[in-house]
Structure 1
């Protein structure tokens, strides 16, 4: 069924070599954080409201306000403000 969906979408499956588990580490971490912080395991909203909540969490909180370890524990907004302006 999964392979059929890929074929239907003309998508190419991305897989690493056997034993290489690092390909999905970033995505797995992101989705674990999303599920935990929004408590998505609980059926608390309908589909439309869930989409709205996830969108707002990603676009308003995660991408702008949340502190990221890769950015020296600064928010993306703070990181961008401190970035040098190119000439």
Structure 2
């Protein structure tokens, strides 16, 4: 088994919050399915909302398409070789690598997974200021949205 680990994410384009993620020592379809399943379990996904990704073979697999259909999500794929079509994910991974992964040597894969989960849950979603959110953290933006709809 190699020392490399993989991370799949589901990012809400509304507020840039990572609402689902999964980590493993492989990048098979079940990894991205686990991330999407976490998103669906922890957040109400609107019926027929769009699940966008790049054109990696896992995202174009029959198994992943079946999962999206079961969750009543529409699939959208970026254009080949155009990173701008998936800019939220590109930005998240660039920041994660710069702020966490490139600066840290993890003694075990499990330690890396715990640290990255903590980074997502406690820093990126709750603390880090996102320019697309008017320099506010994703959860603050989501909570404000939910409060405004409760009052209505």
The structure with higher relative contact order (CA 8 Å, sep 6+) is 2
Flag the 1:21–1:78 CA change in 2: closer, same or farther, 3 A: closer
1:31 to 93, 98, 101: 93
Aligned mate of 1:41, from 90, 93, 102:
102
8 Å Cα contact 2:83/2:90 also seen in 1 = no
- Residue 68 in structure 1 maps to residue 130 in structure 2: yes
Q: Which runs of 5+ in 2 are unaligned?
A: 1-55, 66-75
Flag the structure with larger Rg: 1
TM-score, length basis structure 1: 0.68
Coordinate RMSD, CA, aligned: 3.1
Please identify which structure carries the higher strand content. 2
5+ long unaligned stretches in structure 1: none
